[in-house]
Each structure stands twice: as structure tokens, then as C-alpha cells.
A and B are shown apart, each in its own frame.
Chain A
Amino acid sequence: AQSVTQLDSQVPVFEEAPVELRCNYSSSVSVYLFWYVQYPNQGLQLLLKYLSGSTLVKSINGFEAEFNKSQTSFHLRKPSVHISDTAEYFCAVSDKFSGGYNKLIFGAGTRLAVHP
């Protein structure tokens, strides 16, 4: 079974600085990867996903993530963060078809705190 490890539980950063949130998954023949974001007191929203093709995927608000098969990683990056990026970020992997449903395995989450 798949597993997901988010290496940092909290990442403090100053506004306009770059940030990287790390995510590693256990190996699999084929893998689909997701980053979800949870703003304070809200549900999870899809930020970006890797299904196939280009290993670099981007979101509409400036985040990007790179799928690295050899290192089994899917790190999330942003070159310049804003206060509004303060949120918890979850990396997730879609496990192989199991029990007839879309099984998502989540990491423990990384809390990004952007300071002025």
C-alpha cells in the first residue's frame, strides 16, 4: 500500500521569500499525486495534481510541484509567498484501485505560516 511522508510539520517564512514544502511517497508502478490546501476554518481544496506528461505542474496562484520518479518526491514550491498563502498543505497519492473507490492517501500536512 502507498504511503505519503511530509517531511516538515511547520514551515515559517517571511513574505516574498521562496518556500518549498517537501513530500515523498512510497514507490509504485504508476502514481497520481495531488496537493490540497486548507485555509483556516475551511475544507480542503485541490491546488494542483500530477497525472502524466510534464513532470512540472503549476497552479493558478503561483505554486508549482515537480514529480521526481527516481526520488519518489513531489515537492511543492513557490518563488515568492504572500500572507494569504498561510494555510495547511496536504500531499496525497491516489492508491491503486481498491474496493471500488478512489482511494486517496494523505500525508500528515505541513502548516505554512507566512510572516510580514
Chain B
Amino acid sequence: NAGVTQTPKFRVLKTGQSMTLLCAQDMNHEYMYWYRQDPGMGLRLIHYSVGEGTTAKGEVPDGYNVSRLKKQNFLLGLESAAPSQTSVYFCASSYSAHRTYEQYFGPGTRLTVT
């Protein structure tokens, strides 16, 4: 079991460039999430998905798009990168929407936008 994996691990973009971050989970979880982590701010939810083919906005969705074409994959896209999107991005998944269930996290993608 690989759990939650993310590619790439690191990326440097110039302002205005686009990229896609890939998240994959092998636990058959319905629910998947994208967070960004910034110093002193903890993790903030960007977008989430409650099942294949569905996505929804989280707390900080502006500048990002997502897709969940397959249950095991959740993609995060940046159409036109900005320096404010320099961050560490984490993907997570959970078995259930119930509050008692933990979320499982990937190792993160460190993105720098110059």
C-alpha cells in the first residue's frame, strides 16, 4: 500500500506559467482534498471532492482548478501561476465524510513561483 502519493515533489514556475499537480491514493477512499501550507497559517483547504466526477471549493479556491475523473486521482491545476501561490501543497484522502474519520496525507509538493 503506497497510501497517498503526489507528483512532482518540487517545482519552480515563472509567473504566468501553468502546471498540474497529481495526487493518487490506493485506499479506495471516496473523499479527497487539496491543501496549501504556508508558514504560521497551518493548512488551508483549496478544493475537495466527495467522489468521482465531483469537486467543490474550499476556503482558498481562487487561482486553482481541480478534476477527479477517476476515483483514485485528484488533480490540482494552476492556470496562470502567481508568486502568491508559492507554497507547499498537500493532498489528503479519507474513507468517510464522518467527523470521526482521519485524513491521510501525501508527502507534499513544494512549489516556488518566481
Contact = CB atoms under 8 A, between A and B. Distances in A.
Given A90-B43, A107-B42, A99 B105 contact: no
Contact of B102 (A34, A42, A101): A34
Interface stretch (A45-53, A66-74, A76-84): A45-53
A87 interface: no
B42 A106 contact: yes
Interface residues of A, number: 28
Interface string A22-54: 000000000010101000011111100101000
Residue of B33, B40, B97, B102 ringed by the most chain A CB atoms within 10 A: B102
Interface residues of B, number: 27
Contact of B108 (A43, A94, A96): A43
B50 A100 contact: yes
B102 A43 contact: no
A96 B101 CA distance: 13
Interface string B88-112: 0010101011111111011110000
Contacts of A106: 42-44
Contacts of B31: 101-102
A104 B92 CA distance: 11
B2 interface: no
Interface of B: 4, 31, 33, 40-45, 48, 50, 56, 90, 92, 94, 96-103, 105-108
Interface of A: 4, 9, 32, 34, 36, 41-46, 49, 51, 90, 94-97, 99-104, 106-109
